[in-house]
């Protein structure tokens, strides 16, 4: 009997440079060969994932000044354009949506140490005194609340799949009702199971971290040596293929694993606007600030509605549905402070 490569039909022993006798005479080698074969079958998909991991590492691409300038023309700084932006808000209720990592806190190696500065927390606290304000994060709600610690805000954790309204009395809160939305509840046991499996599978890859975000998971590779990225992508793909109800997306040096339900940060934004009484309203100006691919879903909602402002936090040109840009969290803080100053100086009708 000759075992052949399913795709090419070439006997495996020949395809992988071994004689038939070697092939059948050495069981260990046969096992290795089968593994190699399996890997080659998944090779295309895994390579695509690996390419995407590499492509999303901006340090690998030199930034061309011309590209940067033309990008800035299309996505001007929200600070430079502040007055113009605000004049568009006349007579409208501003609602502020803030992503957490990379927006309110700088990107750091250890996800558990992505602290917000006291100054940033105060800026957000001030914003929330004047405008309904929500944090929309990939992290689990409890964790992001643990960093921000402002009970007057709305929080949408787990990529928007876990929404809760302010627990502290707030003038923007509707009656005594607490807003709550968890569209992926049924996936909790599955997410827990995959968390355990993945934690086990990647434990031998130095630097890999699996983070349980309750309704979704993050697999971090920021601290994984690039020579091991392929192995990590391989493990993640292998596990995920057993769970067709889950899908894989990518963020900043992180894989996000989440239910296939049609719910993302864009849906969370719409849900919150609706909860605040602004569904289909023209009297509202949602301002969404975020830095990541997952924030694009929210930018897209605003873009498609032709309403509100999407502000991308990025130092490098990126394809985006946002209209404006800010370079880093310190600029976000500056923008938030200006928003509050502007509000304080505006006539009460705003
Ligand atoms: O939606 P976000 O609030 O931006 O959350 C997205 C992911 O952010 C965190 O990971 C990112 O920040 C880490 C700390 O700076 C960094 O180490 C990591 O490389 C980034 O991807 C968070 O840990 C993830 O769970 C979130 O999904």
Cα separation, 310 vs 240, in Å, equals 32
Rounded Cα distance between 78 and 312, Å, is 9
Q: In ligand 1, which atom is closest to the CA atom of 101? A: 4
Residues within 6 Å of ligand 1 by CB: 99-102, 107-109, 111, 114, 137-139, 211, 213, 218, 220, 222, 251-254, 256, 292, 294
Which residue is closest in CA terms to ligand 1's atom 23? 111
User: Would residue 99 show up in a list of annotated catalytic residues for this protein?
Assistant: yes
267 Cα to the center of ligand 1, angstroms = 20
Residue 183 has φ and ψ, to the nearest 5°, of -70, -5
pTM of the model: 0.85
What confidence category does residue 51 fall into, taking pLDDT thresholds of 50, 70 and 90?
A: confident
Q: What is the pLDDT, as a whole number, of residue 55?
A: 75
User: What atom of ligand 1 comes closest to residue 113's alpha carbon?
Assistant: 14
How many angstroms is it from 252 CA to the middle of ligand 1? Answer: 7
Predicted local distance difference test score (pLDDT) of residue 54: 79
ipTM over 0.90: yes
Question: What angle separates helix 296-305 from helix 265-275, to the nearest 10 degrees?
Answer: 60
pLDDT in tens, 295-345: 999 999 999 999 999 999 999 999 999 999 999 999 999 999 999 999 999
pLDDT at 169: 58
d(CA 311, CA 80): 13
Q: Ligand 1 atom closest to Cα of 99?
A: 3
Mean pLDDT, residues 244-249 taken together: 96
Token pair recorded at residue 153: 């805000």
| C-alpha of residue 111 to centroid of ligand 1, in Å | 6
| Burial state string for 254-284 with b = 16 or more CB within 10 A and e = fewer than 16 | bbbbbbeeebbbbbbbbbbbebbebeeeeeb
| pLDDT average, residue stretch 139-154 | 97
- What is the rounded CA–CA span in Å between residue 154 and residue 241? 35
Average pLDDT rounded to a whole number, residues 174-193: 85
The residue nearest atom 10 of ligand 1, judged by CA position, is: 111
In angstroms, rounded to a whole number, what is the distance separating the alpha carbons of residues 215 and 139? 9
Is residue 216 exposed (0-12), middle (13-18) or buried (19+ Cβ within 10 Å)?
Answer: buried
Let me know: does 191 contact 212? Beta carbons within 8 Å. Answer: yes
Closest atom of ligand 1 to CA, residue 295: 1
pLDDT of residue 220: 98
Nearest CA to ligand 1 atom 7: 138
**Residue of 148, 216, 249, 251 to test ligand 1 pocket, by largest number of atoms within 8 Å of CB:** 251
Q: Residue whose CA is closest, atom 8 of ligand 1?
A: 101
Average pLDDT of the segment spanning 133-137: 98
Which residue, judged by its Cα, is nearest atom 4 of ligand 1?
101
Q: Domains (ranges, CATH) in the chain?
A: 20-57 (no CATH), 65-183+263-345 (3.40.50.1000)
The number of helix segments (H) and strand segments (E) in the chain equals 12, 12
Cβ burial, residue 302 (10 Å; 0-12/13-18/19+): buried
Distance 196 CA to ligand 1 centre (A): 20
Please compute, for residue 47, the number of CA atoms within 13 A of its CA located in the half-sphere on the CB side.
Answer: 6
pLDDT at residue 19 in the model: 36
Query: What is the model's pLDDT at position 63?
Result: 74
69-106 pLDDT, tens per residue? 899 999 999 999 999 999 888 889 999 999 999 999 99
Question: Considering 20, 67, 84, 99, which one is annotated as catalytic?
Answer: 99
Residues 256-296 have pLDDT tens digits of 999 999 999 999 999 999 999 999 889 999 999 999 999 99
Atom 14 (ligand 1) nearest CA: 111
Distance set, CA 285 to CA 16, 123, 306 (Å): 61, 20, 10
C-alpha 138 to ligand 1 mean position (Å):
7
């Amino acid at each position: 009997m000759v075992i052949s490569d399913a795709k090419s039909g070439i006997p495996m022993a020949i395809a992988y440079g071994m004689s038939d006798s070697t092939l059948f005479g050495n069981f260990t080698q046969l096992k290795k060969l089968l593994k190699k074969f399996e890997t080659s079958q998944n090779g295309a998909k895994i390579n695509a994932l690996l390419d995407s991991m590499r492509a999303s590492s901006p340090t690998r691409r030199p930034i061309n000044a011309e590209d940067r300038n033309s990008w800035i023309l299309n996505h001007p700084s929200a600070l430079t354009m502040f007055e113009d932006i605000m004049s568009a808000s006349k007579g409208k209720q501003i609602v502020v949506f803030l992503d957490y990592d990379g927006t309110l806190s700088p990107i750091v190696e250890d996800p558990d140490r992505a602290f917000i500065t006291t100054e940033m927390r105060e800026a957000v606290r001030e914003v929330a005194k004047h405008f309904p304000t929500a944090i929309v994060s990939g992290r689990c709600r409890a964790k992001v609340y643990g960093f921000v610690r402002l009970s007057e805000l709305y929080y949408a954790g787990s990529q928007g799949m876990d929404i809760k309204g302010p627990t502290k009395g707030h003038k923007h809160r509707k009656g005594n009702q607490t807003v709550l939305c968890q569209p992926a509840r049924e996936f909790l046991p599955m997410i827990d199971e995959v968390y355990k499996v993945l934690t086990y599978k990647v434990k031998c890859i130095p630097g890999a971290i699996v983070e349980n975000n309750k309704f979704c998971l993050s697999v971090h590779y920021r601290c994984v040596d690039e020579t091991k990225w392929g192995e990590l992508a391989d493990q993640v793909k292998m596990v995920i293929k057993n769970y067709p109800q889950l899908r894989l997306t990518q963020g900043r040096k992180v894989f996000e694993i989440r239910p296939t339900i049609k719910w993302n940060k864009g849906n969370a934004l719409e849900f919150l606007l609706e909860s605040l009484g602004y569904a289909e309203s023209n009297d509202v100006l949602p301002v969404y600030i975020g830095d990541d691919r997952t924030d694009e879903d929210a930018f897209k909602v605003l873009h498609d509605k032709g309403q509100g402002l999407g502000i991308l936090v990025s130092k490098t040109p990126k394809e985006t549905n946002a209209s404006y840009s800010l370079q880093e969290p310190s600029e976000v803080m500056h923008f938030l402070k200006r928003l509050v100053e502007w509000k304080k100086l505006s006539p009460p009708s705003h």
